[in-house]
Amino acid sequence: DAKTTQPNSMESNEEEPVHLPCNHSTISGTDYIHWYRQLPSQGPEYVIHGLTSNVNNRMASLAIAEDRKSSTLILHRATLRDAAVYYCILRDATRAGNMLTFGGGTRLMVKP
């Protein structure tokens, strides 16, 4: 799977929006962009995914650059519960194995 690059850590204030960036300059046309997060002492949790268009769900929004070489996960109002490691992962739709490869992610700290 193509590689992603994320900042190691970010800080946010509670109740403010958070924009988590991800660079994936080697993305291929069949790669979906997935975001997962891992709360402390828990398993990874699906957040959102997209292919080309921006996506919204109850947890977050995903903004995908027009050239698809970068994306941004947007948490509209950060809460203390959103403190977690956020992983940006590319998933090749043509790959048979179907597994996800996790990188180091971005550790989001939320200040009250």
Partner 1 sequence: EPEVTQTPSHQVTQMGQEVILRCVPISNHLYFYWYRQILGQKVEFLVSFYNNEISEKSEIFDDQFSVERPDGSNFTLKIRSTKLEDSAMYFCASSGQLSGANVLTFGAGSRLTVL
Identified binder of partner 1 from the candidate list 5, 104, 109, 111, rule CB under 8 A: 104
* Strand-pair category, 55-56 with 45-50: unpaired
Beta-carbon contacts of 104 under 8 Å, excluding residues fewer than 6 positions away, are 6, 8
Rounded to whole angstroms, the Cα distance separating 108 from 105 reads 9
Please give the size of the binding site for partner 1, defined by CB under 8 A: 28
Stretch 36-75: interaction string toward partner 1, x if CB under 8 A: x-x---xxxxx--x-x------------------------
For the record, the structure tokens of 101 come out as 């490869």
Q: Is 26 in the site for partner 1 (CB under 8 A)?
A: no
- Of 2, 1, 21, nearest to 10 by C-alpha is 21
Q: Is 96 in the site for partner 1 (CB under 8 A)?
A: yes
Positions in the binding site for partner 1 (CB under 8 A): 30-32, 34, 36, 38, 42-46, 49, 51, 87, 91-104
